[in-house]
Amino acid sequence: MNKPDSLKYAHQYGLGSGPMSVEPCVSEAYFEREREILFKHAWLCMGREDEIPNVGDYMVKDIDILQTSVIIARGKDNKIRAFHNICPHRLNKVMQPGEGNTRGFMCQFHGWTFDLEGKLAHCTNKELFNDFDQSKHGMPALSADLWEGFIFINHDQNPRDDLKTWVGDYAEMYAGYFDGMSLHGRWSVTVDCNWKNFIDANTEAYHAPTLHRQSLRDSFASPDNPNCAFNAVELHGRHRLGSVYANPGYQPMPIEGKSFTYAATPLYPATAETTANLPPGVNPSKNPAWAFDVSVLFPTMQLGTASGWYLLMMYWPIAVDKTLFEVSFYCYEAETAGDLIAQEYPAIHQRDVIREDMSTLEGTQQMIASGVLKEMVLCDEEITVRHNHKSVNDYLNENS
Amino acid sequence: MPQLPKEFKSLQPFAPEWALATREARYHKRISSSMEEIKAYYDAVLPQLDAMVEHLNRHSIKNLAAEDKNLLRMAFSAIEISRSVEVWNAPDNVVHGAYPAEKIKVHTLPYEQAL
């Protein structure tokens, strides 16, 4: 085996190889800049369009980093809209977080009711108000748009970039990949760490042979690739993906191995056949020795794309040192019980492996906050970490 | 008590504990069980798993009989506990200090109620 090239990605992408400041992970002032300059103008993924498939379907979510609560609803015209969850009368919060189907949204305080477009449909005893123009008192809108079936919102009613521009190269890279897969699992947790550290832990593979040495055994490393080097790294503007190697010689354990055989189309391991038809952004090297990709659509939407299933991982900053993390598992509609049982394996396995990734987060945050050391040292394979921090920093600098 | 198809009567004693309807319930069952309980179920279910899948594949998953639904849930529980036996030798992956299991919220989704 050849000596690895410690400057491969540094040369390919020109992002350098020096240490990086960790101040942006503990600075309250930096976090407020992220909130005001980045998040209040960023396109943020809220889930899949097919989670609200029918007219009147809605979801309500409190979003700390935007300092608001948002209703997303499908209107009578089938269009998906987003508005602030606020009654313009006395500014009460109209709906509690959750989802459902409705004809409109009624404020429980005085009965003002809003239609699926956020317009004020009913004002209780309107004649009690002086000079009242009902059309001026709807729930304020956020921008909303769709990409590949994902719902995005933007706090900015006149975004700097439209969603297509924001998505950039990603627009074509995943064409059709998500079609036909539906929500088949979800878990969430709030962790005391900075959101960027959280993404870092889930988007480099250098840690796998150490941190996951028990859970992943030799499935992600082999004599050919002892460091679990990525099959490929692609940087697309502020977005990034790393394609994670799988050991083709891996011998599964009894129930794990059985689960692979129960699906009509095996979910694992990948084969030349199962990878051939994937779009360019999924397993970009088309190497069958492939587990999945870690892909981040800037700033906080992570996709874990595999053959026959994917993860949607969303990071919701709450404070500089606190982040809500939501993981959703999507797969094809099962035709047989065997399919369902095969799908259960990755749905559960990923959860418990990501919990290992999360095991370092609070300790890292604690020790960054100690202030003892001001910089982190990154190897070439950790280009995804470097690109994460650099993309945020560049965005803040370019837009302030 | 959840009943299993009669062909799987050897698993019937495990059904009250492991024929659980949601992934959330199965997760909590695993992390609150002793390794002895988990190993006993693993040893019972492993030799039956192929036959369970074969049996279930003869029916449409859209309208499984109650006892077949229970059998499917038993198979899901087998997946849930497999790594306890095959990898960790403990109910949970505590060796590397995985993030505390009880802090994770596993959501119950509409599709599970449809199964």
pLDDT at B95 over 60: no
Q: Quick check: pTM over 0.90?
A: yes
- Predicted local confidence at residue A166, as pLDDT: 98
**What is the mean pLDDT of the segment spanning B25-36?**
97
Q: Do A348 and B79 touch (CB under 8 A)?
A: yes
Residue A101 in contact with partner chain B when CB distance is under 8 A: no
Assembly ipTM: 0.96
pLDDT in tens, A11-26: 999 999 999 999 999 9
Question: In sequence order, what are the residues at sequence separation of 6 or more whose Cβ sits closer than 8 angstroms to the Cβ of residue B100?
Answer: none
Q: CB-CB: which of B23, B46, B104 is closest to A189?
A: B104
The region, left, alpha or beta by phi > 0 then psi within -120 to 50, assigned to residue A16 is left
Residue A294 lies in a domain: yes
| A225/A363 same-domain check | yes
Average pLDDT over residues A375-395: 98
Q: Report, as an integer, the average pLDDT of A122-141.
A: 96
Q: Is residue A229, in this structure, part of any structural domain at all?
A: yes
Q: Pull the structure tokens for residue A381.
A: 């394979």
Domain that holds residue A98: 40-167
Look at residues A140, A167, A194 and tell me which one is the last residue of a structural domain.
Answer: A167
A119 and A179, same domain (yes or no): no
Q: What is the pLDDT of residue A45?
A: 98
- Establish if A281 belongs to a structural domain: yes
Q: What is the pLDDT of residue B70?
A: 97
Tell whether A112 is covered by a domain.
Answer: yes
Q: Among partner residues A185, A338, A356, which is closest to B98 by beta-carbon distance?
A: A356
Q: Judge whether A392 lies within some domain.
A: yes
Number of domains in chain A: 2
Q: Does A267 touch chain B (CB under 8 A)?
A: no
Does A153 share its domain with A204?
A: no
Q: Has residue B85 got a pLDDT over 80?
A: yes
Residues A118 and A198 grouped into a single domain: no
Residue A27 resides in a domain: no
A319 and A204 together in one domain:
yes
A215 & A135 share domain: no
Whether residue A187 and residue B98 make contact (CB cut-off 8 A), yes or no, is no
CA distance B1 to chain A (A): 22
pLDDT at A337: 96
Q: Which of A212, A243, A300, A226 is nearest to A9 (CA)?
A: A243
Condensed to tens digits (0 to 9), the pLDDT of residues A36-64 reads: 999 999 999 999 999 999 999 999 999 99
The yes-or-no verdict on residue B114 having pLDDT over 80 is no
The separation between CA A385 and the C-alpha centre of its own chain, rounded to angstroms, equals: 16
CATH of the domain at A163: 2.102.10.10
Average pLDDT value for chain A = 96
Q: Are both A12 and A51 inside the same structural domain?
A: no
Residue A104, Cβ density class (10 Å: 0-12 exposed, 13-18 middle, ≥19 buried): middle
Rounded to a whole number of angstroms, the distance from the CA of A328 to the nearest CA of chain B is 10
**Are A157 and A90 within one domain?**
yes
- Average pLDDT (A301-305) is 98
Query: How near does any CA of chain B get to the CA of A380, in Å?
Result: 25
For chain B, helix, strand, coil in percent to 5 are: 70, 0, 30
**CATH at A327:** 3.90.380.10
Average pLDDT over residues A385-394: 98
Report which of residues A187 and B98 the model is more confident about.
A187
* Cβ atoms of residues A43 and A163 within 8 Å: yes
- What's the gap in Å between the CA of B87 and the closest CA on chain A? 6
A159, A181: one domain: no
- Choose the final residue of a domain: A131, A150, A167: A167
Same structural domain, A151 and A213: no
Quick check: is A337 in a domain?
yes
Q: Give the model's pLDDT for residue B97.
A: 63
Query: Cβ distance A396 to A299 under 8 Å?
Result: no
The torsion of the CA quartet A65, A66, A70, A74, rounded to 10 degrees, works out to -100
Tally of CB atoms within 10 A around A93: 17
Which chain B positions have a beta carbon within 8 Å of A254's beta carbon?
A: 46, 82, 86
Given a cut of 70, whether residue A1 has pLDDT beyond it is no
Q: A163 with A192, same domain?
A: no
Chain B residues with CB under 8 Å of A361 CB are: 99
pLDDT of residue B96: 61
B46·A340 Cβ contact <8 A: no
Query: Which carries the bigger pLDDT value, residue A273 or residue A397?
Result: A397
* Last residue in a domain, options A141, A167, A193: A167
Residues A150 and A189 in one domain: no
* Sign of the torsion formed by the C-alpha atoms of A391, A392, A394 and A398: positive
